[in-house]
Structure 1
Amino acid sequence: MSDHTRITFGDGNHGFQVGQNSGPITTNFNLPPERPETPPKPTSTVPFCRDADFVERGDLLHRIEQICSGPASRAALVGLGGVGKSQLAIEHTYRVRDYASRNKQDIWLFWVHASTKARVQESFKTIADVLKLSGRNQPEANILQLVERWLSNEHNGKWFMVLDSADDLNVFYDTKSTGQTGSLEDEKRSLWTYLPQSPNGSILITTRNRELASRLTGSHKNVIDVGPMDPSHALALLATKCGDGLDMDAGPELVKELEFIPLAISQAAAYIQQRWPRSSVTKYLDKFRKTSKDKFNLLDFEVGDFRRDRNALNSIITTCQISFDHIRSERRSAMRLLSLMSFFDCRSIPDYLIHPDFVRRYGENEGGEYTDGEEDTDGEEYTNDDWAGFPQDPDSLFEDDIITLRKYCLIKTNETSHNLGMHSLVQLSVAKWLAAHGKTETFKQVYLSRMVRAFPRGDMYEHWKMCRELFAHVEIALNYRPKARYSLKHWVLLLYHGGNYAESQRRYTTARKMAEEALAANKKVYGEEDGETMDLLDLLCRIHMCCGLYEKVESLLLPVLEARQELDAESPDTLYTMNTLALNYSWQGRWNEAEELHLQILEVLKKRLGTEHRDTLISMNNLAWIYLNQDRWKEAEELQLQAVEGYKR
């Protein structure tokens, strides 16, 4: 038998000492019970002070109050990052407190940062400490369950909770371990089960995820859409944030450029304030409109707002990119769809242009140079020409991708058409996200290939309806000159067709810019003798003639004509240039010079093609038109009769 000697370790603690023992020893050490704590008075864990510059936004706060006023009620604010959901929640909590104070009622106000499981647990621990819940300091305490039990007890009084930035569905509905110690059953519980439907409490959720909002509130009727501000409210916010002394004449235009999004407006105001008096609303607007790079820099400016969570990014660009990362991890094909959409005019995008099966419906690639897809860094390859890797048909895949993007409030659908839209600030954010991931050229290639298939020749009347519908998506292509040689051909051809349409509609400034950009690029890569170079040169000359810029036409054509005549004075390219130059002379009334060129063209065509060839007959008619304008009726009549007889044969 071992020799036991009892010793004392302190008040209430005992132990034993073993000199020698050959058998098992079992000991129990009991910690002293926690001392009872004085129950606290109702208070608030909202970590933000009230915003003195808060601007009312119609009936949004009234709708929150209506839904949250009932027992066990839940409401959710859903919208794009930066539209002010958290700010509305903060203001509502202070109004709840004010109402309780006026009516001499007590109410607990709890704020839970819900972006990750760890932040939820941290917030619940703060609540447990504020409530002084018994057992919270025990090593194996299940804080989530302790708080849940307290919230479920009606005797504890009224409470109101905000779940802020609850964007990730997996945070609340993932059945993996919550990280809490305790029983196996507790470890398997999802976080949403710790939010009781207690008649003495209500919950307000802020989220970008519409599906999560519906699931946490139990009904889409309890979901409140928060969009951009009304123009008047946006202007009021800009004026309030900028302060007195600033000229607000350019304010309406600036908030319109910022799409009335509160975070972007606050960014602009903070930027202006920081640089005042060397900056102003007008100067900010001018810089914002200058280049895409300037837009990126201004929208990426960190506000440093102490009324936003410490982990929240205070620029509209980086705020949007949080959603992109969520989507890419949740549904990769939806992020591809959003990436492709970002290259189109964001106001109204026909859904067939971005459909996964577009290539199959609109024909195969020419020459096999182009693959309508993306190869990811993880080795996964996506190709719209091959659906073997997808478990669904293209239509189902497309609709599910749209649902995902709508769920995050990143795109807009139209009830009266099949067109989709997105905010221009989201479009800019996607552009930066693609650049950061090295995917800009990949999706630019997809966009150009699709548009060059979809947009018809713009110089034909029967195509004008389609051209009119798609022209906004062609205009934006001016910003997308590709780096790859094979994509450059698509870009040049798209601008050529777009320039032809713009010229037909007398939109000469746009037409000239398209022709000039495409001509310079094509000439540099493929040379002056390339067929598309000549087509673009002809288009540019026609545009200049329509604008009365005849000297420019001559300066473009004379060097080309001289070089071609040296190589082959009778080549089709030489004759083509001569004809365009003759037309330029005709428009100026320089009939003799025009006649000389037309005579040369006609002689060559007779010699090479014969008198009855279609091109020869057209040349006769052109020369007859020159004679008519000089009142040389007999000569004109003879040529036109020859042309008519030739056409009859």
Structure 2
Amino acid sequence: MTTQLPSVSFGALNQGMQVGQNSGLISAEFNLPPERPETPPQPFATIPFSRDPDFIDRGDILDQINQRCSEPGARVALVGLGGLGKSQLAIEYAYRLAERPDIWVFWVHAGTQARVEEGFRAIADAVKLPGRNQPKADIPQLVYDWLSNERIGRWLIVLDSADDRDVFYGPTGDDAGNGRPFATYLPQSRNGSILITSRNNDMAFRLTGRRQTIIEVGPMVQTDALTLLERKLGSLSDPDVAADLIQALDLVPLAISQAAAYIQARVPRSSPRKYLTEFRESEHEKSRLPQYDGGDLRRDGGASNAIFTTWQISFDHIRSRWTSAADLLSLMSFFDRQGIPRWVLKPSRTVKDAMWAGHQVEAGGGKTGDGSSATDSDRNDHAGDDLNSAFEDHMAMLRDYYLIVADKVGEEFRMHELVQLSIRRWLEASGQQETFKKQYIKRMAASFPTGQYENWATCRSLFAHVQAALGYQPSEDMAEKWATLLHNGGWYAWSQGRYEIAKQMLGRSRKVREKMLGKEDVATLNSISMFAMVLSDQGRWEDAEKLEVQVMETRKTKLGDDHLDTLTSMANLASTYRNQGRWEEAEKLEVQVMESRKTKLGADHPNTLTSMANLASTFWNRGRWNEAESLFMQVMEMSLKVLGLEHPDMLLSMANLTSTYRNQGRWKEAESLEVQVIQMRKRVLGPEHPDTLTSMANLASTYRNQGRWKEAESLDVQVMETRKTKLGDHHPDTLTSMANLASTFWNQGRWEEAEKLQVEVMETSKIKLGADHPDTLTSMGNLALTFSNQGRWNEVESLEIQVVDMRKRVLGPEHPDTLTSMGNLASTYQNEGRWEEAEMLEVEVMEARMKVLGSEHPSTLTSMANLASTYGDQGRWNTAELLHVQVMETMKRVLGSTHPDTLTSMANLASTYRNQGRWKEAESLDIRVMETRNTKLGPDHPSTLISMGNLASTYRYQDRWEEAEKLEVYVMEISKIKLGADHPNTLTSMANLASTYKNQGRWEEAENLEVQVMESRKTKLGADHPSTLISMGNLASTFWNQGRWEEAEKL
């Protein structure tokens, strides 16, 4: 048995007893002096940052933290993208908690194991844990044991930047040598709580164990972001610029603070406006400015204050572990930041991606689980499963790091714009930008379809990403795919009425294809053709015609006269001819196209039906409405059978048929069909689609023709506001809707409102479309019409002469629109009593229309009626009668005896009979017109009321006062209700009734009405308006008849 010797102490000179040679072991025990007892401190806080004087209390986040941390043993996590203010929230909460004297608050940097160990050591030192200075002391265990002791009171530990799983769940290799993960040293005692900040949602869940205690921190709300900027910069002189700036910075707190630091460092050379301007200048500036590191004492010393560098940490962390996930994020950085579809990102057998190469299953020699040889099909299935599984893992990882955000169903993702920029900047710096740009273009070209109706849902979901691609000029080996993508994108944009962006896309596509493939390649011709269609829709018909002729001739040479693409180019050229009023040329081409398509494709093929509809449209423009209706009806019936009720082409054929009904005065039929079309277009295309809005505008026009002006106005306003929102204030379709609303105002006698809109339309058209654009000239003509109702003849004449001259120059002297403007100028001469000038113009218009349109075209007949009216004004009743009879008989034959224009011609002839004193013949016609309008339009329609007034006038000429009075009272009362008390037609009816009273010697009643008419006209039209002067003359006549000569003379 070995006896333990007492400890031996050797002096400084090593003197004393010396042991001789001993072959056994010598054991020496060294006892350190005992630790001096330390007094445990009172609870305190170890927060390594000062409190932020500019802290913004963001909603109820701090309340949520407080509530959840108050639960026994709570673990709460703040998770989100770097720079969103997680640590700042934790700092503020820690300070608020530290204000209580009975709570310990500890801060641990959790970015690396070394930092965590350092944090635990700091806690042990701060609270003076016994044994902490022993060489092999297990510091985390000592801290764990101390925190688990409920007698120490309440405590909070903040684990800041706990992003890396290996830090807490990997082996520690600590001095104690036990290798336990740090996560096992986090106590769950009832008296303490742990607050975690992390960029990794999965990590937060591992540390907390509950999804319910994870608080997601996103960008600031706008009001908080503005407050932060104001606290950093002081008073904001331009709140709108400030609001734009914080939105440009995605409402990210660190980016806003960083921008403020940049601005302050450069005052007065910089300001929010200058920063925003620089930021928006280019992607280079967007990338440069957020790299500024302004310094922030409340951020961990190892963390950068530059927002891009902050996000780079997460990106680098993912790339170092999962390269394919980082590659996926790199690809996503080229998309538009919102609405990135899952299905476009997923691995595809049709799109070979380098990023998935590491996940491919080997092509040969594989074995199945039971040891048998795997077939190619088996291997492909397993490869697909592996790829999909890897894809889902990677997407989950990117979501967990908050680099992307999924929608509610997980089918679309979005990214912060600055995150995308930071990734693209990294790719550029590392020389990988072109690689992922190619991947992006390849995927988008394979995913984005043509712009046909069947593909609209897909196109809609991807279109923003095609717009993003517009700015990515690719390398030569990817140029063709890029051109295809832009061609299809431009096609879709054109179908949606987005002409400017369509023109940009198609122009770029055309340029690339011409360079890569040549000007006569099929794909190049497709781009040129589509580009021409956009120009045509913008009213640039000459430019469109040149391109369409070029395409047509090339296709005839390369493909043949009856090739389907050749026929399409012929149809497009015919459409441009139609817009130019060159209807014979259009018809000739359209007949050729229709017959060829019938032969090549069959009578019921959709393309054949389209050609039939185009021909019908030309018939319609030529006033051949029966032929147009017949063709439109055929198209509609076959479209229903071939395409189905809700196909856009079917709805278009229905809409075309309504226009034919409308021109035939069959307004109830037109209305019924238009309502159906609107309802279906809203359902199929959406309530804001250009075609839906066109249908609504057409229905408003039908209401206008029926005198239902309030309903028309309501629709006109709705269409106008929607177009302003969707297309912009200056889009041609928006201007058209404004002109339509002005027309509705005009019909209601609201001439000032009509004029205001018409002036705006005219001035905007001059700027946006050009002074000689057809739409600009139309707007000038509309304004002139409003001036004429106000008796402003000099202004009317000036505008109309300009319109005539420009239309002659731009469209040609025989274009239908040119002849219309000449007819309007003749009407102005007529109103001014310049009958010879009016007659000369009207004869010229009539003869030109006979030559261009034919003697039976409605416009030709209108010009004949106008000439007859001028003859009547000159007292040339017999000549006028001959023309009126000819017009009436032709209209009966061509349009039908109940067509509105036919009824107008009958009323005109009745007026001529009246002026000739042929009362019975006038009365007979007046009654027929009134009764037909009563049946077709209703007793309250403005046209019906006018015909009743005409009949009353005929009765008055025959001294049939009671019959005249009965009709006139009815017309006046209904006009007051339907049109308003001060509408021009109402005032005319009051004047007519006053005339009847006067003829009966009922002077007071006549005077009362005439005073009302005169005062209303003075207010509405002005004291010098011809109608006002007429009413003053009528009142003067009444005074004279009563012997009130001074009052009469004064008037």
Give, in angstroms, the shift of residue 55 of structure 1: 0.7
CA distance in 1, matches of 2:468, 2:574: 34
Aligned to 2:106: 110
Which residues of structure 2 form unaligned runs of 5+?
1-7, 364-378, 632-1051
Of residues 175, 178, 184, the one that matches 1:181 is 175
For 1:212-256, what per-residue CA distance to the aligned partner results, in whole angstroms no more than 9, with x for missing partners? 222222322221121122221122112112223643322222222
CA distance in 1, matches of 2:400, 2:446: 31
Task: Tell me, yes or no, if the aligned pair for 2:40 and 2:128 is still in contact at 8 Å.
Answer: yes
Kindly state the Cα deviation for residue 427 of structure 1 after the two structures are TM-superposed: 2.6
Aligned counterpart, 1:324: 315
1:481, CA displacement in angstroms?
A: 3.0
Q: Secondary structure at the match of 1:111?
A: strand
**1:442 lines up with 2:426 in the alignment:** no
Aligned to 1:479: 471
Seen in structure 2, the aligned counterparts of structure 1 residues 84 and 623 have a Cα distance that, compared at 3 Å, is closer
1:593-608 superposed matches below 5 A = none
Q: 2:271 aligns with which of 277, 280, 291?
A: 280
**TM superposition shift of 1:281:** 1.9
C-alpha spacing 1:491/1:500, structure 2 compared with 1 (3 Å): same
TM-superposed CA distance for 1:33, in Å, is 3.5
Distance 1:576 1:246 in 2: 58
Describe the SS at the equivalent of 1:446: helix
**Offset, 1:621:** 9.4
Which residue in 2 is equivalent to 1:260? 251
Q: Distance in 2 between matches of 1:15 and 1:538?
A: 111
- Classify 1:471/1:560 alpha carbon distance in 2 versus 1 (closer, same or farther; 3 Å): closer
In structure 2, do the counterparts of structure 1 residues 478 and 611 end up closer, same or farther at CA, with 3 Å as the change threshold? closer
Partner of 2:43: 42
Contact 1:304 1:314 in 2 (8 A): yes
Alignment of 1:71-86 (within 5 A): 71-86=72-87
Equivalences for residues 49-88 of structure 1 within 5 A: 49-88=50-89
CA distance in 1, matches of 2:420, 2:309: 13
Q: Find the counterpart in structure 2 of residue 414 from structure 1.
A: 407
Q: In structure 2, how many angstroms separate the alpha carbons of the residues matched to 1:118 and 1:145?
A: 16
Residue type of the alignment partner of 1:450 = R
- Name the residue aligned to 1:643: none
**Residues of 1 paired with 2:618 and 2:56: CA distance?**
74
Does the Cα contact within 8 Å between 2:173 and 2:179 map onto a contact in 1? no
Paired residue secondary structure (2:531): helix
Tell me which amino acid in the other structure corresponds to 2:439.
V
Shift of 1:171: 0.8
SS of residue in 1 equivalent to 2:53: coil
Q: Which amino acid aligns with 2:80?
A: G
Please give the TM-score of this superposition, normalised by the length of structure 2: 0.51
Q: Does 1:430 align with 2:423?
A: yes
What is the SS of the residue equivalent to 1:426? helix
Deviation readout 1:351-370 (Å, 9 max, x if unpaired): 222222xx34xxx4xxxxx6
Instruction: State the shift of 1:279 in Å.
Output: 2.0
Q: 1:469 aligns with which of 442, 458, 461?
A: 461
Report the alpha carbon displacement of residue 591 of structure 1 after superposing the two structures with TM: 7.7
Shift of 1:410: 2.6
Aligned position for 2:395: 402
2:49 and 2:404 map into 1 onto residues whose CA distance is 31
Richer in helix (by share)? 2
Residue in 2 aligned with 1:289? 280
Match of 1:500 in 2: 491
Distance, in Å, in 2 between the alignment partners of 1:558 and 1:354 is 42
**Distance in 2 (alpha carbons) for counterparts of 1:614 and 1:222:** 66
Secondary structure, in 3 states, of the residue corresponding to 2:46?
coil
Is the 2:339–2:414 contact (alpha carbons within 8 Å) kept by the matching residues of 1?
yes
CA distance in 1, matches of 2:612, 2:355: 53
Residue 373 of structure 1 contacts residue 381 of structure 1 at CA under 8 Å; is this kept in 2?
no
Greater share of strand: 1
Deviation at 1:503, TM superposition (A): 1.0
Give the aligned partner of residue 140 of structure 2: 144
Code of the residue aligned with 2:168 in structure 1: it is F
Output aligned runs, 1:449-598, within 5 Å. 449-458=442-451, 460-485=452-477, 487-550=478-541, 552-553=543-544, 587-589=579-581
**1:380-391 maps to which residues of 2 (within 5 A)?**
380=358
The verdict on how the C-alpha distance between 1:467 and 1:569 changes in structure 2, with shifts beyond 3 A counting, is closer
C-alpha separation in 1, matches of 2:498 and 2:557: 36
Q: Which moved more, 1:273-282 or 1:411-420?
A: 411-420
Partner AA of 1:234 in structure 2: A
**What is the match of residue 120 of structure 2?**
124
For residue 8 of structure 1, give the secondary structure of its aligned residue in structure 2.
Answer: coil
Partners of 2:309 and 2:216 lie apart in 1 by: 22
Inter-partner Cα distance in structure 2 for 1:195 and 1:421:
35
CA offset digits 1:174-193 (Å, max 9, x no partner): 1x2x13212x4xx2211011
| Contact 2:138/2:175 (8 A) holds in 1 | yes
> Whole-Å Cα distance in 1 between the matches of residues 542 and 15 of structure 2?
108
- Partners of 2:536 and 2:119 lie apart in 1 by 71
Give the whole-Å Cα distance in 2 for the aligned partners of 1:309 and 1:452.
Answer: 45
Fraction of identical pairs, as percent: 46
**Quick one: structure 1 residues 15 and 473, their matched pair in 2 at CA, closer, same or farther if it must change by over 3 Å?**
farther
Give the direction of change, closer, same or farther, for the CA distance of 1:506–1:30 in structure 2 (3 Å limit). same
| Aligned-partner Cα distance in 2 for 1:170–1:210 | 15
Secondary structure (helix, strand or coil) at the match of 1:145 reads helix
When the two chains are superposed, the root-mean-square deviation of aligned CA atoms in Å is: 4.3
The one-character-per-residue Cα deviations of 1:146-173 (angstroms, maximum 9, x if unpaired) are: 3222222333333221100001111111
**What's the CA shift for 1:400?**
2.9
Measured in 2, the distance between the counterparts of 1:43 and 1:75 equals 21
Q: Structure 1: how far apart are the matches of 2:276 and 2:616?
A: 53
Alpha-carbon distance in structure 1 between the residues aligned to 2:618 and 2:61: 75
Q: Which residue of 2 aligns with 1:212?
A: 203
Q: Specify which of 291, 302, 306 is matched with residue 311 of structure 1.
A: 302
User: How far 1:290 sits from its partner (Å)?
Assistant: 2.4
Q: Specify the SS of the correspondent of 1:488.
A: helix
Q: C-alpha separation between the residues in 1 aligned to 2:414 and 2:16?
A: 76
User: Following the alignment from structure 2 to structure 1, what is the Cα–Cα distance between the partners of residues 43 and 300?
Assistant: 23
Q: 1:383 to 1:240 in 2, by over 3 A?
A: farther
Structure 1 residues 440 and 201: CA distance shift in structure 2, 3 A: same
CA gap of 1:16–1:414, structure 2 versus 1, over 3 A, is farther
Work out whether residues 77 and 225 of structure 1, in 8 Å CA contact, stay in contact via their aligned partners in 2.
Answer: yes
Distance 1:464 1:16, change over 3 A: farther
Q: In structure 1, what is the Cα distance between the partners aligned to 2:415 and 2:149?
A: 45
1:478 Cα deviation from its structure 2 partner? 0.9
Post-superposition CA distance 1:89-133 (Å, at most 9, x none): 0000110122x1xxxx33322110001101111122222222233
Change (3 A) 1:394 1:511: same
In structure 2, the CA distance between the partners of 1:491 and 1:382, relative to structure 1 (3 Å rule), is farther
Distance in 1, Cα, partners of 2:362 & 2:535: 41
Q: How many residues align?
A: 599
Given candidates 173, 184, 188, the residue that maps to 1:193 is 184
Which stretch of the first structure deviates more once superposed, 246-255 or 571-580?
Answer: 571-580
Letter in 2 for 1:426: V
Which moved further from structure 2: 287-296 or 116-125? 287-296
| Structure 2 counterpart of 1:343 | 334
Paired position in structure 1 for 2:743: none
Q: Which amino acid aligns with 1:169?
A: R
Query: Quick check: 394-403 or 383-392, which moved more?
Result: 383-392
Could you tell me which residue of structure 1 aligns to residue 352 of structure 2? 371
2:230 to 232, 236, 239: 239
User: Does 2:18 correspond to 1:8?
Assistant: no
Deviation at 1:483, TM superposition (A): 1.6
Structure 1 residue matching 2:470: 3-state secondary structure: helix
Measured after TM superposition, the shift of residue 583 of structure 1 is 6.2
1:274-301 Cα shifts (integer Å, max 9, x gaps)? 2222222222222222222221112222
- CA change 1:7–1:517 in 2 (3 A) is same
